[in-house]
Each structure stands twice: as structure tokens, then as C-alpha cells.
Amino acid sequence: MKKSKSRAWDIKLFKRVLASSKPHKSLLIYGLILTVLLAVLSPLRPYIVGKLVGEYVFNKDASALLNGTILVLGILLVESVMLIALSYISSDLGQRVVKDLRDRLFEHINRLRLRYFDQHPIGMLVTRSVSDMETIAEIFSQGILVIVGDLLKLSGVLFFMFYMNWELTLVVLIPIPLLIFSSNIFKKAIKKSFQEVRKQVSLLNTFVQEHISGMNIVQIFSREDIEAEKFKKINEKHKKAHIKGIMAYSVFFPVVETLSALSIAILVLYSIRNISYGNVDYVKVTTDMMAFILYVHMLFRPIRMLADRFNTLQMGMVGSARVFALLDNDEFISQQDGLMLNNFNGEIEFKDVHFSYDEINKVLKGVSFKVNPGQTIAVVGPTGAGKTSIINLISRFYEFQSGHITLGGKDIRSIDVSSLRSRIAIVLQDVFLYNASIQDNITLGNKNISTKKIIESAKLVGVHDFIVSLEGGYDFIVKERGGVLSTGQRQLISFLRAFVYNPQVLILDEATSSIDSESEELIQNATKELTKNRTSIIIAHRLSTIKNADIILVMDDGLIVESGTHKELLKIDGKYSKLYHNQFLKQIDSDY
């Protein structure tokens, strides 16, 4: 990976980038045709101008001169139209290629295992899908076609120059080594500054994203001033990086202008010298001088741009290396034969399941239990005991290392993941709501769920009144991450989301935060409705839920240490009894 980054050219990668434009091959071909035509037309113009001067000015043939001028203007017009078309086509091509790639990348990210997201920051994935993609678009819009065009044009110009007067050409080219030398310095400077800018942009992104996500922490701990200071420093570095890049341009461009002026000066001096010798063809000297002045401009401009263009190309290659590396990552959930989970009765069994997120710290150390169809199981235990991890395994967010998990007697690993997830509804501890209406948050875009069904369900679960009380009711727009709703309210909406889904298995990770008694009652009723007639696994923090459960599993440090009904467990007088007296009884005190 590092190797391909530092290498300027990676043919395989370049081929792959080109291959991604295959569906839009016709655009690429039109672009190439225009590029070639332009490369031929442009150098033709000075040649004609030279001829016009040489043949008609000296012969004082006004009407032929006028016709010739019109011809030159016509060529100029055609060139302009072609340039506009080329610029449009190449941008269009770039955006089309990137749209395809971006769609593919997003689909890909959607299918990655959750473990991937534990190990990679969100900011990185955002950068891959947004700004790295832009650099790929630039490969097409400002990179390859333009570079090919410039190189062809350069060859065309040199061809005409040598054809007209090879001696003069060599003279005019004297400053070129200087130009190549300064281009190289510029290329290096601009590359370094681009990389610095990108680094600073990414730091800025991460900082802003983290601080806005964790704004409550910043404000609770009154860290506004300190964080603002930190931000200023990063922002300052970002500014400096940009300015360095601009400096490189502002030095380089005048240098090129000076060199082209030098070239013209040499051209003029050389021509004057020839004339002063007296034994030359004046017409030819004048013709060549006219044409060559135009050629010098045509020669220097593309060379000036080439350094910049190669840089764009290189940045695009770095961007595509990153995007393709992400696309090549296939950390998906492995599936053996993709069995459909038909006729599933809701039975779930764990047999000696061992699990670790990072393969170092053991989180589940041999967990076994069985939930019969229709039963409600409550899982209790101290924080970090491994309760949520059990859910993560049932929903196949993560892979376990050893043991067996079966659903309706079928090995979980043999079941098609989407079939599995369509039978299970999960209400997570940390409810995530999208920045969309309540209704959309409930249906998640599933058009088969009608508004009527939602309202009926909301009434059954007992949250209809609450939703109607919001401005706009079911159309109330939940802001980013559900920020404007309370924890309890968010949980109620996710209950409804699970309920309209009508799953065979309900998994509920109760929120630990305390909830006002009104919401508490709503949640209690909703839980009752939700667990009716279906297998339910509830990670319980509420005494009411625990008491209503058929079996209570008590977890501690990755193991199930006790199991039984509320009464049975109290009799044993073990961990559960302690938890009950220390924690759950206090809940009753605070509730009443």
C-alpha cells in the first residue's frame, strides 16, 4: 500500500481507474477525437498567419488577406466551440465515473461488518466517499484528456516549427531547459503543499466532526474556550498550507512568462541579426517571425500547465488507491449456504459460545442458554458483563469464535443474513434516529407499511397520543441523531419501529438512563404489547420487565452465573438477589 502511494506511477491502478470509465466509453472517445482535432487545428493557425503575412501583405493583395483573416477567425471560432465541448465532455465523464464509484463504495460500506467500523474512524470513510472521489473526477476532467491534448499540441507545434524553420526552432528552444528545470522545482513544491493541504483538511474535518458530535461534553465541562484555541491552531496550519501552495503558483507563473519573453527576445534578435547580414529572404524572415511569436506562446503555456496537470493526476491516483483499497476490503459476514429462515418458530439456543471483539479480550466465555418459542427472557448483570454482545451475535453483527448458535435448530452461520434479520427486530440501547420524519423513521422507507398500520400500531403500543402532540404529528422532523427528543421518547419510537415490523423475535436492549414516570408507564405497556406472542430477549434494567420474564439470565464477566424465575433466583440468594436488593429495589423507591 505504502509502496504504491510513494510511486508516481502505478500502471495497474491507472488501468483500473480507466476501466471504471468503461460504461461511459463513448464520452471518452468523443473527448479523445476532440482532443486530437484541437491538437492539429491549433498549430495550424500560426502557420496560416505566417503564410498570410508572407504571401499577401508583401504582395499587397487586400482581398486575399481579408479572406485569409476570415479563415483564421473561422478556425479560432471552431477551436473555441470544440474547447467548450471538450471541457463539458471531460467534466461530465469525470462526474459520471465518480457517481458510479461512489454508489458502489456506499453500497460496499453498508455491507461491511460492524467490526470494521470499530477499527476505522467515521471521518476516514467520509473522506473516502466525498473528497477522495473528487480527486478521481479530476483525473478525467483535468487530467488525462488535457494532458494527452497538451502533449499532442506540443508535438504539433514542434512539428510545424521544425517544418517551417529548423534553425530558428533550435534558437527559440534555448530557454526550454530552464523551463523544464523550474517546472520540476514547481512540481515538487506543489506536490508537497497539496499533500500538506489534504492532511490539514482531514485534521480539520475530524476535529469539527468530533466536536460537534460531542458538543454536550464540550459544554458540560466548559471547554468552549480551550477547544476554540485548539481549533484556531489547526485552522491556522490549514491556512498556512494553502498559502504555501498559492506561493508556489505565484512564483512559477511569472517565471514562465519571463522565460517565454526571453524566448521571443532571442527570436527577434536572431531575426534582426539575419536581416542585418543582408543576404536573406525578407519575406521568409518576417513570415517565420510572425508565426514563431505565436508558437512560442503555444509552446510555453502547455508546459506551464503540464506540471500542474501531472500533479492533479497524481492526487487522483492517490485518491483512487485509497478508494479501491476500501472497495477491495471484503470484511463481510461470511455465509456458508445462505439458508432461508422459513417456518421459524422463534427458538434460539446458545451452546458454549466464546466471543471476543478483538480476539484478545474475551467477552463471552462459554455462554449457553435456550429460549423456547414465545418465551420472554430477561438478561441482567453489571455493566460490561457482555449482555449487548449476545445481541450482536444473534443479529450477526459480529462473528463468534467457538461454540454454536442455532435458530429454530439451524446453525446461525448457515442462515442467509438478510433472511435472519428480517425475522428479528432489535431495539438498541442507544436509539438512533435519522434526520427525517417520525413516519420515515418508523418505516425506514418500507412502502409496504401504510400510515393506517402505523397509527393502529401506535395506538396499540400506546404512543399515538405522544406522537400527535408533536408539531406535525407523524410528519414531525426528527433532527440529526434524534437530538430534540428525550431518550424515552426515542425509545418509544423505536418500539413502534419494531412493532410495525411484526418480527418473530424481539430483542430489546433497555436504556439504562432513568426515565420520567409517565414515559416509564408508556414504555412498560409498550414492552408488554411488543413481547406478546413472540420470542423476546430483553436486556433488562427495569424491575417490571424482569418480573414479567419467563426466565432471567444473570450475567457476570462473560458468563451466565444464574438462571431461573424471579422467585427462584431470590431463593438462591446469590448475585441476582444482591442486584435486586442493591439496584432494582431502589428503582421502586425512586418511581413512587
Ligand X SMILES: Nc1ncnc2c1ncn2[C@@H]1O[C@H](COP(=O)(O)OP(=O)(O)OP(=O)(O)O)[C@@H](O)[C@H]1O
* Interaction pattern, residues 412-431, with ligand X; x per rule: CB under 6 A: -----------------x--
Number of residues forming the site for ligand X (CB under 6 A):
13
- Enter the C-alpha cell of residue 191: 506536490
- Selection from ligand X, Mg ion, none that 364 binds (CB < 5 to 8 A by kind) is none
Q: From the list 24, 304, 309, 387, which residue makes contact with ligand X (rule: CB under 6 A)?
A: 387
Q: Within a 13 Å sphere around the CA of 5, how many CA atoms are in the beta-carbon half?
A: 8
Q: How far is the CB of 509 from Mg ion (least distance, A)?
A: 6
Q: What single-letter DSSP state applies at residue 141?
A: I
- Selection from Mg ion, ligand X, none that 118 binds (CB < 5 to 8 A by kind) is ligand X
- Enter the C-alpha cell of residue 184: 520540476
Q: How far is the CB of 228 from ligand X (least distance, A)?
A: 32
Amino acid identity for residue 362 in this structure: K
DSSP letters spanning 147-189: HHHHHHHHHHHHHHHHHH-HHHHHHHTTTHHHHHHHHHHHHHH
Q: From the list 17, 146, 168, 385, which residue makes contact with ligand X (rule: CB under 6 A)?
A: 385
Nearest to ligand X of 45, 541 (CB atom): 541
Q: How far is CA 400 from CA 349, 358, 383, in A?
A: 14, 11, 20
Q: How far is the CB of 429 from ligand X (least distance, A)?
A: 6
Q: How far is CA 581 from CA 520, 541, 585, in A?
A: 21, 13, 5
- Selection from Mg ion, ligand X, none that 156 binds (CB < 5 to 8 A by kind) is none
Nearest to Mg ion of 209, 388 (CB atom): 388
Write the Ramachandran bin of 35: left for phi over 0, alpha for psi from -120 to 50, otherwise beta: alpha
Of residues 269-308, which lie at the interface with ligand X (CB under 6 A)?
A: none
* Interaction pattern, residues 73-92, with ligand X; x per rule: CB under 6 A: --------------------
Q: How far is the CB of 503 from ligand X (least distance, A)?
A: 21
> What does the alpha-carbon distance between residue 269 and residue 258 come to, in Å, rounded to a whole number?
16
Q: How far is the CB of 335 from ligand X (least distance, A)?
A: 22
- Enter the C-alpha cell of residue 196: 500538506
Q: From the list 91, 388, 437, 577, which residue makes contact with ligand X (rule: CB under 6 A)?
A: 388
Beta bridge partners of 410: 407
Nearest to Mg ion of 195, 388 (CB atom): 388
Count CB atoms within 10 A of the CB of residue 139.
Answer: 29
Number of residues forming the site for Mg ion (CB under 5 A):
1
Of residues 334-363, which lie at the interface with ligand X (CB under 6 A)?
A: 357-358, 363
> What does the alpha-carbon distance between residue 289 and residue 295 come to, in Å, rounded to a whole number?
10
Nearest to ligand X of 304, 387 (CB atom): 387
423 with 344: CB under 8 angstroms?
yes
Stretch that binds ligand X, among 334-342, 368-376, 383-391, 461-469 (CB under 6 A): 383-391
- Selection from Mg ion, ligand X, none that 224 binds (CB < 5 to 8 A by kind) is none
69 lines the binding site for Mg ion (CB under 5 A): no
> What does the alpha-carbon distance between residue 490 and residue 394 come to, in Å, rounded to a whole number?
23
Nearest to ligand X of 112, 275 (CB atom): 112
Number of H helices, E strands in the chain: 24, 10
Q: How far is CA 466 from CA 190, 194, 458, 469, 519, in A?
A: 59, 53, 9, 5, 10
**What are residue 373's phi and psi, to 5 degrees?**
-50, 130
Of residues 426-455, which lie at the interface with ligand X (CB under 6 A)?
A: 429
- Enter the C-alpha cell of residue 428: 438498541
- Selection from ligand X, Mg ion, none that 384 binds (CB < 5 to 8 A by kind) is ligand X
410 with 334: CB under 8 angstroms?
no
Q: How far is the CB of 399 from ligand X (least distance, A)?
A: 13
118 lines the binding site for ligand X (CB under 6 A): yes
The order of strands in the sheet holding 376-380 is 424-427, 505-509, 535-539, 376-380, 551-556, 559-564
581 with 589: CB under 8 angstroms?
no
Count CB atoms within 10 A of the CB of residue 579.
Answer: 20
**C-alpha 275, offset from chain centre:** 64
Find all residues with CB under 8 Å of 528, minimum gap 6, and list them. 548
Stretch that binds ligand X, among 47-55, 170-178, 377-385, 451-459 (CB under 6 A): 377-385
Q: How far is the CB of 113 from ligand X (least distance, A)?
A: 11
- Selection from ligand X, Mg ion, none that 200 binds (CB < 5 to 8 A by kind) is none
Nearest to ligand X of 227, 510 (CB atom): 510
Nearest to ligand X of 342, 402 (CB atom): 402
114 with 397: CB under 8 angstroms?
yes
- Selection from Mg ion, ligand X, none that 385 binds (CB < 5 to 8 A by kind) is ligand X
* Interaction pattern, residues 351-390, with Mg ion; x per rule: CB under 5 A: -------------------------------------x--
Find all residues with CB under 8 Å of 302, minimum gap 6, and list them. 150, 151, 153, 154
- Selection from ligand X, Mg ion, none that 386 binds (CB < 5 to 8 A by kind) is ligand X
Q: How far is the CB of 388 from ligand X (least distance, A)?
A: 3
Of residues 148-167, which lie at the interface with Mg ion (CB under 5 A)?
A: none
- Selection from Mg ion, ligand X, none that 276 binds (CB < 5 to 8 A by kind) is none
- Enter the C-alpha cell of residue 504: 418473530
Single out the residue of 584, 489, 578 nearest to residue 540, CA to CA. 584
Q: How far apart are the first and last CA of the chain?
A: 62
Q: From the list 74, 254, 384, 472, which residue makes contact with ligand X (rule: CB under 6 A)?
A: 384
Nearest to ligand X of 147, 390 (CB atom): 390
- Enter the C-alpha cell of residue 421: 434479520
542 lines the binding site for ligand X (CB under 6 A): no
Q: From the list 386, 408, 462, 482, which residue makes contact with ligand X (rule: CB under 6 A)?
A: 386
> What does the alpha-carbon distance between residue 563 and residue 451 come to, in Å, rounded to a whole number?
41
Which residues of the shown chain bind Mg ion in the complex (CB under 5 A)? 388
Query: Which residues of the chain form contacts with ligand X (CB under 6 A)?
Result: 118, 357-358, 363, 381, 383-389, 429
